[in-house]
Structure 1
Amino acid sequence: MIDRRKFITGAATLGIGTAFAESFAMPESPYGRKVVGRAKKIKHNPIGVSSYSFWQFNGPKEEVPMELCIEKAAAMGFDGIEFLLVQMSSEENSYLQKLKKQAYHAGLDLMGFSTHQGYVYPEKEKREENIAKTIHQIELAYQLGIPVMRLNTGRWGTTKSFDDLMANKGIEPALEGYTEDDGFAWVIDSIVQCLPVAEKCGVVLGLENHWGLGRTAAGVKRIVDTIDSPWLQVTLDTGNFLEDRKAQMELLAPQTFLVQAKTYYGGGKWYTLDIDYPEIGEIMRKNNYRGYISLEFEGNESPETAVPKSLEVLRESFYYDL
């Protein structure tokens, strides 16, 4: 075989190899060698999976323990896992540390903590209960070493059935005698009281577009902008905008700290959306988003087949230029 270096040197001597040699030139590495690479380098966003994807509230949570979710996430090739708090079997520190140890040994980041709370209550004592609950959840995230926690606004509760709420696209009337402005004031005041603990623990609160006052991007942004804290950002859920999805995502993308990406193989439990993930990936690249994408599978197909297919879609869609 022809020695490549001798070939290029010989070609240059003949006066015909300069452009050819330059086309093969590679940048120097810090170690003094030529680095093999392409003109435009990309890096894929890390992809996690919510433990919810393996359970979806289908049957007792004991049938899909967190230990099993860690095993499945690692076996399927995910980079991290997001814990759904209500799916966990305990909040004891020994249990939390056991999960953290298992995930580390499996090569998974504990990258998200999905929690439930709500502040849309006229009664101050109910709001205070949820503030205390949220502070406790932040401390659990700290014990687990999780850097971002999903936060909800809560909702009015005037639609008693969640199925009915979904049928009405998450829209429900305010309590009689109150307005949305009242609700926003309660939510903002409550979250502000949680932020000192979030900062102390190093846990970013990601307010999600998750029904209630956070049903729309405008509602989420109103709260986040009013509070204006680096410890309150956005959890962007791709499946919770039921109209004007692209425009609403573009509005929240600059403040997004975590993306929760839904898929619906086998048809959705409450609805099915045709989500254009390459388009969403482009939106996030324009906003220099380099963080985690967390899969939330919400379809009727078996997670054993649907979750790996979802991972492939997300891997292909979320990347950024280096």
Structure 2
Amino acid sequence: MKNNRRNFIRNSALALAGAGIAGSGVQAQNQKKTAGKKIERNPIGVSSYSFWQFNGPKENAPIEDCIEKAAQMGFDGIEFLLVQMQSEENSYLQKLKRQAFHAGLDIMGFSTHQGYVFPEKEKRQSEVEKTIHQIELAYKLGIPTMRLNTGRWGTSGNFDELMDNKGIEPVLEGHTEDEGFKWVIDAIEQCIPTAEKCGVVLGLENHWGLGRTAEGVLRIVNAIDSPWLQITSDTGNFLERQYEQLEMMAPKTFLIQAKTYFGGGKWYTLDIDYPRVAEIFKKVNYRGYVSVEFEGEEDPMTAVPKSLEMIRDAFTREV
């Protein structure tokens, strides 16, 4: 009986060893096939805005649901739109952070709204205080970068009118663009110490107003000249010279927001050549996140996965 048991163990061990040798041979063959090839890709996130787009009350697309959908679709991270959140209480923020970590997602961006293009110093100071509060929220959530806006002159009747005019609006009567840039620069400078203390990089976005062009964004970023103020490059917010302007901003880009328009855009549709966009950012060795912002009429549950596939393909390369 003991001999039979010894023989069984010995024969099993030999069989396993043989299987291991055979497996090693297959593995070696596979390694040989891929020898000399290395795949690099940018991590891909998704904005919670993609599941809402201001279509109805924000309760229609709670952040908690956006986290679960993003994880199920295979994203690497998620970007929170502040106005979409249900609360700013710390207990709520920590709940979201815990949920995202458990879902395997980085909370990799924070899109906020503010504006500094006001002649009244009190209004500008109020926006500075709001921005500082938003930076502190990002810190509590563990988010490394936060989107900033310059703000607009407010001379358009509404956002639809602004879009009809391709983002161009008249300067407020009695003032100049130079004044506007000074207001924005002075305001953002006041936010830099808090950004540095919290470790949150501010990303000024090409988001209408004085940031409608790459020249406008860079005028502000270069004037402040701080590592805590960089750029959020939105691929869908240039309605002319889009690749030229993205190339201008690429060296200072800290986050890319990639617009997609399946089903036709809500305000307009752009035909964006994403392999070309990826090449622009590859030239400056951009290795950070690309955040999908779906802004089309198709159901997000079908359009957002298609967006992920398109953006991931564009930002994956063999080196």
TM-score (norm. length: structure 2): 0.90
Give the superposition deviation at 1:43.
1.4
Amino acid at match of 1:78: F
In structure 1, what is the equivalent of residue 229 of structure 2?
232
From 63, 68, 88, the counterpart of 1:66: 63
Give the superposition deviation at 1:63.
1.5
Q: Distance in 2 between matches of 1:145 and 1:165?
A: 34
Give yes or no for the alignment of 1:101 onto 2:101: no
In structure 2, what is the equivalent of residue 190 of structure 1?
187
SS in 2 for 1:312: helix
SS in 2 for 1:241: coil
Answer yes or no: is the 8 Å Cα contact 1:155–1:212 preserved in 2: yes
Answer yes or no: is the 8 Å Cα contact 1:265–1:306 preserved in 2: yes
Answer yes or no: is the 8 Å Cα contact 1:285–1:319 preserved in 2: no
Q: Distance in 2 between matches of 1:231 and 1:38?
A: 40
The CA RMSD measured in Å over matched residues stands at 2.0
Q: Distance in 1 between matches of 2:305 and 2:63?
A: 18
SS in 1 for 2:151: coil
Give yes or no for the alignment of 1:318 onto 2:312: no
Give yes or no for the alignment of 1:143 onto 2:136: no
SS in 1 for 2:146: strand
Give the superposition deviation at 1:42.
2.2
- Structure with more of its chain in helix, by fraction: 2
> Structure 2 regions of 5+ residues with no counterpart?
1-20, 23-27
Give yes or no for the alignment of 1:133 onto 2:130: yes
Amino acid at match of 2:60: E
Answer yes or no: is the 8 Å Cα contact 1:288–1:320 preserved in 2: no
> Structure 1 regions of 5+ residues with no counterpart?
5-23, 27-33
Q: Distance in 1 between matches of 2:289 and 2:48?
A: 15
Give yes or no for the alignment of 1:265 onto 2:262: yes
Amino acid at match of 1:191: I
Amino acid at match of 1:148: T
- Deviations along 1:65-113, one digit per CA (max 9) or x if unpaired, are 0000000000000000000000000000000000000000000000000
SS in 2 for 1:308: helix
Change (3 A) 1:286 1:321: farther
Q: Distance in 1 between matches of 2:88 and 2:32?
A: 48
Give the superposition deviation at 1:309.
0.2
Give the superposition deviation at 1:36.
7.5
Amino acid at match of 1:218: E
In structure 2, what is the equivalent of residue 30 of structure 1?
none
Q: Distance in 1 between matches of 2:312 and 2:215?
A: 29
Give the superposition deviation at 1:132.
0.1
In structure 2, what is the equivalent of residue 203 of structure 1?
200
Amino acid at match of 2:239: L
Give the superposition deviation at 1:46.
0.3
Amino acid at match of 1:287: V
1:276-291 maps to which residues of 2 (within 5 A)? Answer: 276-291=273-288
Give the superposition deviation at 1:159.
0.3
SS in 1 for 2:181: helix
